[in-house]
Amino acid sequence: MKTLKFLLRPSWIALVLGVLAFAFACFYLLSPWQFGRNAERTAQNDAIQKSLTAAPRPLDSVLPPGAAPSTQTEWSRVTITGTYLPEDEVVARLRTVQGQPAFEVLTPMRTTDGQVVLVDRGYLSPGDRMSVPPYTAAPAGTVQVEARIRQDETDPKNRDAFADASTGGKLQSYVVDSRVVARSSGLPIRPGYFQLEQNQPGVINALPLPQLDSGPFFSYALQWIAFGVMALAGLGYFTVRELKPGGVLAEMGSRERVSRRRKSVAEMLAEDDEDHAGETGEPPAERQEPRS
- Burial degree of 170 (CB within 10 A; 0-12, 13-18, 19+): middle
Q: Report pLDDT digits (tens) over 252-266.
A: 555 555 555 555 555
Q: What proportion of the chain, given as a percentage, has pLDDT over 70?
A: 82
pLDDT tens for 67-105 read 999 988 999 999 999 999 999 999 999 999 989 999 999
- CB burial of residue 165 (10 Å; 0-12, 13-18, 19+): exposed
Q: In this model, does residue 215 exceed pLDDT 50? A: yes
Q: Give pLDDT, residue 275.
A: 62
**Which amino acid appears at position 30 of this protein?**
L
Strands 116-124 and 193-196 come out as: parallel
Q: β-strands 90-97, 77-84: how paired?
A: unpaired
pLDDT at 241 over 90: no
The more confident residue out of 258 and 221 is 221
pLDDT at site 292: 46
Categorize the per-residue pLDDT at 225 as very low, low, confident or very high, splitting at 50, 70 and 90. Answer: very high
Between CA 178 and CA 246 the distance in angstroms is: 68
- Encode 3-12: b = buried (16+ Cβ within 10 Å), e = exposed: eeebeeeeeb
What's this model's pTM, rounded to 2 decimal places? 0.65
Q: What is the DSSP string of 89-130?
A: -EEEEEEEETTEEEEEEEEEEEETTS-EEEEEEEEE---GGG
Query: What are the start-end ranges of the E strands in the chain?
Result: 57-58, 77-84, 90-97, 100-111, 116-124, 142-150, 172-173, 193-196
The span from the CA of 35 to the CA of 31, in Å, is 6
**Per residue in 3-35, pLDDT tens?**
667 677 888 889 899 999 999 999 999 999 999
Distance of CA 115 to the CA centre of its chain: 35
Buried b (16+ CB within 10 A) or exposed e, 181-195: bbebbebebbbbbbb
Q: Are 85 and 109 in contact (CB under 8 A)?
A: yes
CA triplet 134, 140, 143: central angle to 5 degrees?
115
Q: How confident is the model at residue 1 (pLDDT cuts 50, 70, 90)?
A: very low
